[in-house]
Amino acid sequence: MKRVIVVGNGMVGFKFCEKLRNRSAEVEIVVYGEEPRPAYDRVHLSAFFSGSGAEDLLMAPAHWYGDNNIRLNVGELVTEIDRAGKKIKTHTGRTDHYDQLVLATGSSAFVPSIAGVERSGVFVYRTLEDLNQIKAYAKKITCGAVMGGGLLGLEAAKALLDLGLETHVVEFAPRLMPRQIDDAGSLVLEHKLTQLGITIHTQKNTTVIEGNGKLESLTFADGSTLPIQMLVISAGIRPRDELARAALLDVHPRGGIVVDNFLRTGDENIFAIGEAVCHNNMIYGLVAPGYEMADTVAAQIAGQPFREFTGFDMSTKLKMLGVDVGSFGDPFGETAPCIPIVFQNPRNGIYKRINISEDGKQLLGGVLVGDASQYSMLHQMVINKMVLPESPESLLIGNGSIGASASASVLNLPDTAQICACENVTKADLVCQIRAKEAKTVEDLKKNTKACTGCGGCAPMVTDILKCTLEELGHTVKKTLCEHFTYTRQELYDIIRATGVKDFDTLLDKHGRGDGCEICKPTVASLLASIWNDLILSQAAIQDTNDRFLANIQRGGTYSVVPRIAGGEITPDKLMAIGRIAKQYNLYTKITGGQRIDMFGARVDELPEIWEALIAEGFESGHAYGKALRTIKSCVGSTWCRYGVQDSVSFAIFIEDRYKGLRAPHKIKGAVSGCIRECAEAQSKDFGVIATEKGWNLYVGGNGGSRPQHAKLLVADVDTETCVKLIDRFLMFYIRTADPLTRTATWMNKMEGGLQYLREVIVNDSLGIAAQLESEMKELIAHYHCEWKKVVETPALRAQFRHFANDDSQDETLSFVEMRGQKCPPDWNKK
């Protein structure tokens, strides 16, 4: 069997092993990696500071190598190649022989020779070891800077920000990301980064790193200085070509192992890939070209057809500190004469530039900052040399209605357009799967072509192509739940209502197939709850994690307990009752964003007792665990507040008591504010009410979370009764028509006609369903009961709350540590 030795276990070295093993089981693969751990994602190193552990960053878990018959030697540096004898030698003195050798030694951080660079407090940003050192040093200081405002430098800046430091970025060039974006784009990016708290210094040439022993400040060529306590150098990379040099392989004068289009060095048995390589005078500092090099070599070694590596399109789209940036084709208009068209919206922090050929027919390249949603399409237009529309500026000023323009766009793509660059899948490949091979879902396409399995960036475009092609074939594309039901959620809603079915198995038997799964079971559970409002534990087996035990599951397998505190109002006696119960059961307590109290660390068997105690004190379930109504926040309003114009607290309590227990496609949160100052933050809620002199303004469709959105004004100045009626209708309409796990904001964003249409339906009753919606809501309200009370009172239900069925003992793996005088689980990332 052929024996391949891979020198280097970085991202590209790892990818090579993966690709070679996928192609052939008949090759011995042995890897030597210098670093002490297996390959990890260097691109997302900054995630290390926002909570990811080293394990999460691993490209593959340690057992993957053994599982795939790859011998990985970590912490072992290859020091010598004996080309004649086809052997390598490592720093331990061990020798090993190869039939073919693949050098994937990567690069090291370039450290410019500036006076004082050896002072303590100066680091590079490349390995996890570097990061550990940076993290440790950051604890002792308050202010740091990154030298280098390129891709990696800005990643390092994010890391410093996450460490809580005052963060500066020092860049030699007049702009940030000088290879990807232009001056104007950089200004927009700089402005956004400044808003995040990063101070940018461009056109600064550092001449001295000052300090007495440890770093104290930087001095620049223009005479200015910057006092800082830590410097992270991210000013470029230098290929690790020393092994090749020593073995007398060709190396470029500025560094980099010289290779041909086959990634071969001067030695026919030695390949080189990744950042260590110089191909056509280019060193590629991105991971995507490295992966392609890896694939080319893997195919050659496996004796299979391969594509020559002739260079790589350095177009890229990424999110830099929350800012979308795209750069494609020739971003600067330097390769051919061109005319740039620029769109700038300083209010939104958006900059878009496209370079049009002189004859106006082709797109040559461009830059996107702040909004890169058009990247895929524009990129495709460049690489396929597609003909531009009559007014090319329309490409930049889209109105964001993705539906129509996307389908027009993907239909215009030529069949040869490469949609997935990681796995080289063309539009023709995808269309063929859909037309001739019965592919009906993105999963089908993934399985058969491997599209979307690399970086995942092509997923939106693959989805668009799927949708458009299916529509061309006359198939309407429905958002069916999963393999067990060929219906949408809305259709199932109608079926359940119409047939009166009340349990999952009956529904599955009559209208579905197979045995269900973790997607359809909770969806159906939610529908049943929304329609019949029966006790959800009568359908315990189909409930999602939290609903199963009516509590939010936490790390370690304990649960949290949240009693309802409507409107955020509570008496001292009730506060003390909660305090007593929390103390009795040794629970961790915290006040929530929803203006109530959360108690953590309850074992599953303790839940019924704790709730029994709470119910005895007059509390009921807060439904913090459900896709249900959570809370209605309030600010004090006219009872106490000198500015309040209506009694917001009473209204909030009324609303929360009205809709408590309501289950929906996703959680629902509301708020009532007593005046325009809006202290209850009603505009970030699914529905929010703000008091006016004349009555209430009702806002709908807002949410916080990872994609925050403000609610929109539905009606103004309505009285209390009307307000409640409209909320009844709004909520029932949402419950009836939304997709699973969709917040009201997403539901409204996708709604044809948007807010205008919603207003027609809810306020003006354009569909004639208002009375029905109101009566359905009335029915649900009438059916309300506290589900925890039911559990506490029903021995058969209580009996389900135990860790073991055959034993009364506890889970002995449960453990806690102490933090600020209370308990918490040990970090599950630490082994």
Contacting residue, 201, 710, 712, 803, with other proteins by CB under 8 A: 803
541 near other proteins, judged by CB under 8 A: yes
CA–CA separation, 232 and 137 (whole Å): 11
390 near other proteins, judged by CB under 8 A: no
Q: How far is the CB of 555 from other proteins (least distance, A)?
A: 8
Q: How far is the CB of 67 from other proteins (least distance, A)?
A: 9
Query: Residues binding other proteins: what is the number (CB under 8 A)?
Result: 39
Piece in contact with other proteins (CB under 8 A), picked from 203-211, 545-553, 654-662, 738-746: 545-553
Q: How many helices (H) and strands (E) does the chain have?
A: 26, 38
Q: How many CB atoms lie within 10 A of CB 503?
A: 14
Piece in contact with other proteins (CB under 8 A), picked from 9-17, 22-30, 744-752, 809-817: 809-817
557 near other proteins, judged by CB under 8 A: yes
Piece in contact with other proteins (CB under 8 A), picked from 188-196, 322-330, 547-555, 678-686: 547-555
Give the β-pairing of 143-147 and 323-329. unpaired
Q: How far is the CB of 550 from other proteins (least distance, A)?
A: 13
Only one residue has tokens 């940076």, namely 134
Q: What share of the chain is helix, strand, coil (3-state, %, to 5)?
A: 35, 25, 40
Q: How far is the CB of 273 from other proteins (least distance, A)?
A: 23
518 near other proteins, judged by CB under 8 A: yes
310 near other proteins, judged by CB under 8 A: no
Q: Report the residue number, 509 or 719, with the smaller CB distance to other proteins.
A: 509
Q: Report the residue number, 609 or 811, with the smaller CB distance to other proteins.
A: 811
Q: Report the residue number, 169 or 481, with the smaller CB distance to other proteins.
A: 481
Q: How far is the CB of 798 from other proteins (least distance, A)?
A: 14
64 near other proteins, judged by CB under 8 A: yes
User: What is the x/- site pattern for other proteins, positions 435-474, by CB under 8 A?
Assistant: ----------------------------------------
Could you tell me the CA-to-CA distances from 351 to 367, 457, 611 in Å, in that order? 8, 21, 55
Which amino acid, residue 719? D
522 near other proteins, judged by CB under 8 A: yes
Listed in sequence order, the residues at least 6 apart from 388 whose beta carbon sits closer than 8 Å to its beta carbon are: 356, 360, 361, 362, 363, 381, 395
62 near other proteins, judged by CB under 8 A: no
Burial class of residue 265 (count of CB atoms within 10 Å of its CB; 0-12, 13-18, 19+)? buried
Only one residue has tokens 């709730």, namely 611
Q: How far is the CB of 830 from other proteins (least distance, A)?
A: 11
444 neighbors 453 (Cβ within 8 angstroms): no
Could you tell me the CA-to-CA distances from 635 to 562, 692, 767 in Å, in that order? 21, 14, 35
Q: How far is the CB of 521 from other proteins (least distance, A)?
A: 5
535 near other proteins, judged by CB under 8 A: no
544 near other proteins, judged by CB under 8 A: yes
820 near other proteins, judged by CB under 8 A: no
Listed in sequence order, the residues at least 6 apart from 393 whose beta carbon sits closer than 8 Å to its beta carbon are: 341, 343
User: What is the x/- site pattern for other proteins, positions 467-506, by CB under 8 A?
Assistant: ----------------xx--------------------x-
CA–CA separation, 464 and 556 (whole Å): 41
What burial letters (b/e) apply to 719-735, b meaning 16+ CB within 10 Å? ebeebbbbbbbbbbbbb
Using the 8-state DSSP alphabet, how is residue 43 labeled? Answer: T
Q: How far is the CB of 523 from other proteins (least distance, A)?
A: 12
Q: What is the DSSP string of 413-433?
A: S-TT-EEETTTTEEHHHHHHH
Q: How far is the CB of 297 from other proteins (least distance, A)?
A: 23
640 near other proteins, judged by CB under 8 A: no
805 near other proteins, judged by CB under 8 A: yes
Q: Report the residue number, 55 or 471, with the smaller CB distance to other proteins.
A: 55
Piece in contact with other proteins (CB under 8 A), picked from 224-232, 514-522, 677-685, 768-776: 514-522
Contacting residue, 545, 584, 772, 775, with other proteins by CB under 8 A: 545
Q: Tell me the two tokens of residue 42.
A: 């260097």
Contacting residue, 542, 550, 662, 732, with other proteins by CB under 8 A: 542
Q: Report the residue number, 377 or 524, with the smaller CB distance to other proteins.
A: 524
Contacting residue, 755, 811, 822, 823, with other proteins by CB under 8 A: 811
SS3 277: strand
Listed in sequence order, the residues at least 6 apart from 754 whose beta carbon sits closer than 8 Å to its beta carbon are: 748
Q: Report the residue number, 32 or 801, with the smaller CB distance to other proteins.
A: 801
CA–CA separation, 134 and 150 (whole Å): 19
CA–CA separation, 643 and 660 (whole Å): 29
Q: Report the residue number, 552 or 692, with the smaller CB distance to other proteins.
A: 552
Contacting residue, 1, 26, 63, 817, with other proteins by CB under 8 A: 63
176 neighbors 169 (Cβ within 8 angstroms): yes
Contacting residue, 556, 644, 674, 740, with other proteins by CB under 8 A: 556
Listed in sequence order, the residues at least 6 apart from 91 whose beta carbon sits closer than 8 Å to its beta carbon are: 76, 77, 78, 79
Q: Report the residue number, 438 or 807, with the smaller CB distance to other proteins.
A: 807
Listed in sequence order, the residues at least 6 apart from 737 whose beta carbon sits closer than 8 Å to its beta carbon are: 490, 493, 747
Piece in contact with other proteins (CB under 8 A), picked from 58-66, 206-214, 410-418, 714-722: 58-66
Using the 8-state DSSP alphabet, how is residue 707 labeled? Answer: S
366 neighbors 354 (Cβ within 8 angstroms): yes
Interacting residues toward other proteins by CB under 8 A: 60-61, 63-64, 483-484, 505, 508, 514-518, 520-522, 540-542, 544-545, 548-549, 553, 555-557, 800, 803-807, 809, 811, 813, 828-829, 831
